[in-house]
Amino acid sequence: MSSEQPSKEASAPAPGESAKPEARQPHIYAITKYGAAVLETKTKPVEKFDEKLARLCEDMFASMYAASGVGLAAPQIGLSLRLAVIDVTVGKNSEARLVLANPQIIHTEGDQREEEGCLSLPGFRGNVLRPRYVTIRAQDVTGKTYEMKGEGLLARAFCHETDHLEGLLFIQHLSMLRRDLIRRKIRKLRKAGDW
């Protein structure tokens, strides 16, 4: 999920904060763009919680920050893995860093319609209806299960990143007319070699 505005939800506790692997430079992944099959395929669960996963999470945070995002799901870096990272402060508060392995939305409440974007669809945004409050159950980088309630931007990020893990993109929440317009523009960009 891409960021455009600061958030007040950053005071969330950090049960999903990534463990610190040995000192190394994180790898910055290229963001997989719309059109790649991995973005529209349901992901496989995370089964191994080890140093390799911790490094991957650190790389995902670094890749997300490099792209100015507030969330990044594994399919967005080409991996079909039920894993996402979120930081609605875009790196300003390390306690807001969340690792969501095998997340499930267990409760939603209320509505909010806000503009939303996606790192895999750069330059495209649309107003998307999402729940105002969302409770998720997920595992952190060590495999420990936790539940967390998010409001506003954090709730939106929970939904957006969980959608990615189900093979859904935010444009699937837009009207058919708006979705087709975006797809036509992307086809033109591809033809011109700009996608």
Query: How many other β-carbons are positioned within 10 Å of the β-carbon of residue 169?
Result: 21
* pLDDT of 22 strictly over 70: no
Alpha-carbon distances of 27 from 31, 55, 60, 66, 77, rounded to whole Å: 12, 9, 8, 11, 11
77 is a domain residue = yes
Phi-psi bin for 63: left (phi > 0), alpha (psi -120 to 50), beta?
A: alpha
84 is a domain residue = yes
107-141 residue pLDDT tens: 999 999 999 999 999 999 999 999 999 999 999 99
- In 140-194, the DSSP E strands lie at 145-151
25 is a domain residue = yes
Q: How far apart are CA 49 and CA 135, in angstroms?
A: 23
* pLDDT of 80 strictly over 90: yes
Catalytic residue positions, numbered: 161
Quote the number of domains for the chain: 1
**Full residue range of the structural domain in which residue 61 is found:** 9-191
